[in-house]
């Protein structure tokens, strides 16, 4: 199953993606957790040390794997048969989870995402990963670097929202963009929910049928973000509600 996670800045995309990676690691042979957002840090969110993350080479530099042939502005790739060996050099493993980083921080308004797109395309169209794998992409707020070709292989786009007007507006906008790209399955997750009123707010603005689940506000997670060093062990309320969301995904999306 291939899952893309998006939503407004700070709503909990990385937290959701990291927890899902852990849960999928129990049900799938391999899990690829990919930072497609230059600011995302999935690896840190599950407690991999900073030094190790700093050494992680971005996929956009993966020249050994992919033989690039450019023609007419588009890039086409053929794959090195030793995919696993090369992937090893571009990932950090934690059990059967592999963390990868797209890389390529763009200056505002500069250059296109052609190169990143082509890699993402290879990743998502199953050129790199087999069917038993789960791929979880932490997209960041903007999904404009997702092309139609890449979007086609996304099984579900999870849009995370917190109970605020701005956040639900962004969530609805992301949904519209994702639909325009041809993603069929787009579901919302309400995060940082403190009470019934906030839950109802999410349902009202995002739609009962579209909301896949809720995650309560967790003081422990919030407080741990003030500390330096590895993120708090994922657990408690977060894990409990994410387990329900994970099961729903397996039931409703992964047919």
Ligand X SMILES: Nc1ncnc2c1ncn2[C@@H]1O[C@H](COP(=O)(O)OP(=O)(O)OP(=O)(O)O)[C@@H](O)[C@H]1O
Q: Does 126 bind ligand X (CB under 6 A)?
A: no
Strand partners, 161: 190
Q: Does 159 bind ligand X (CB under 6 A)?
A: no
CA nearest to 15, candidates 245, 249, 183: 245
Pairwise CA distance, residues 70 & 89, whole Å = 25
Q: Does 118 bind ligand X (CB under 6 A)?
A: no
Q: Does 221 bind ligand X (CB under 6 A)?
A: yes
Pairwise CA distance, residues 255 & 244, whole Å = 17
**Alpha-carbon torsion 139, 153, 95, 57, what sign?**
negative
Shortest approach of Mg ion to residue 38 CB, angstroms?
A: 10
Between 66 and 178, name the residue whose CB sits nearer to ligand X: 178
Provide the token pair at 107.
């200056």
Q: Which residues bind Mg ion (CB under 5 A)?
A: 13-14, 40
Pairwise CA distance, residues 84 & 72, whole Å = 30
Q: Does 6 bind ligand X (CB under 6 A)?
A: no
Q: Does 192 bind ligand X (CB under 6 A)?
A: yes
Angular region, 190: left φ>0, alpha ψ -120 to 50, beta rest? beta
Q: Distance of alpha carbon 161 from its chain centroid, rounded?
A: 14
Between 33 and 65, name the residue whose CB sits nearer to Mg ion: 33
**Binder of residue 218, out of Mg ion, ligand X, none (CB less than 5 to 8 A by kind):** ligand X
Q: Does 217 bind ligand X (CB under 6 A)?
A: yes
**Binder of residue 25, out of ligand X, Mg ion, none (CB less than 5 to 8 A by kind):** none
Q: Distance of alpha carbon 185 from its chain centroid, rounded?
A: 15
Shortest approach of ligand X to residue 199 CB, angstroms?
A: 13
Among 86, 218, 245, 249, binds ligand X (CB under 6 A): 218
- With H, G, I as helix, E, B as strand and everything else as coil, classify residue 94: strand
Shortest approach of Mg ion to residue 22 CB, angstroms?
A: 16
**Binder of residue 241, out of Mg ion, ligand X, none (CB less than 5 to 8 A by kind):** none
Residue ranges in 162-191 that form contacts with ligand X under rule CB under 6 A: 191
């Amino acid at each position: 199953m291939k899952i893309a996670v998006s939503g407004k800045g700070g709503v909990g995309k990385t937290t959701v993606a990291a927890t899902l990676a852990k849960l999928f690691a129990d049900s799938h042979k391999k899990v690829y957790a990919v930072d497609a957002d230059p600011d995302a840090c999935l690896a840190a969110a599950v407690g991999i040390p900073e030094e190790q993350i700093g050494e992680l080479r971005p996929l956009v530099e993966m020249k050994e794997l992919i033989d690039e042939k450019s023609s007419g502005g588009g890039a086409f790739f053929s794959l090195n048969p030793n995919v696993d060996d090369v992937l090893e050099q571009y990932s950090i493993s934690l059990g059967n989870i592999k963390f990868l980083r797209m890389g390529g921080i763009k200056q505002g308004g500069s250059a296109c995402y052609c190169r990143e797109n082509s890699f993402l395309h290879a990743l998502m169209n199953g050129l790199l990963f087999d069917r038993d794998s789960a791929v979880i992409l932490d997209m960041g707020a903007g999904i404009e670097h997702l092309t139609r070709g890449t979007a086609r292989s996304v099984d579900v786009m999870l849009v995370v929202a917190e109970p605020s007007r701005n956040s639900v507006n962004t969530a609805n906008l992301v949904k519209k963009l994702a639909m325009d790209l041809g993603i069929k399955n787009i579901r919302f997750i309400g995060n940082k929910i403190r009470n019934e009123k906030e839950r109802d707010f999410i349902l009202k603005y995002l739609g009962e049928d579209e909301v896949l689940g809720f995650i309560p506000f967790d003081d422990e997670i919030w407080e741990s973000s003030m500390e330096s060093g590895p993120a708090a062990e994922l657990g408690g309320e977060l894990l409990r509600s994410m387990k329900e969301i994970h099961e729903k995904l397996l039931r409703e999306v992964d047919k």
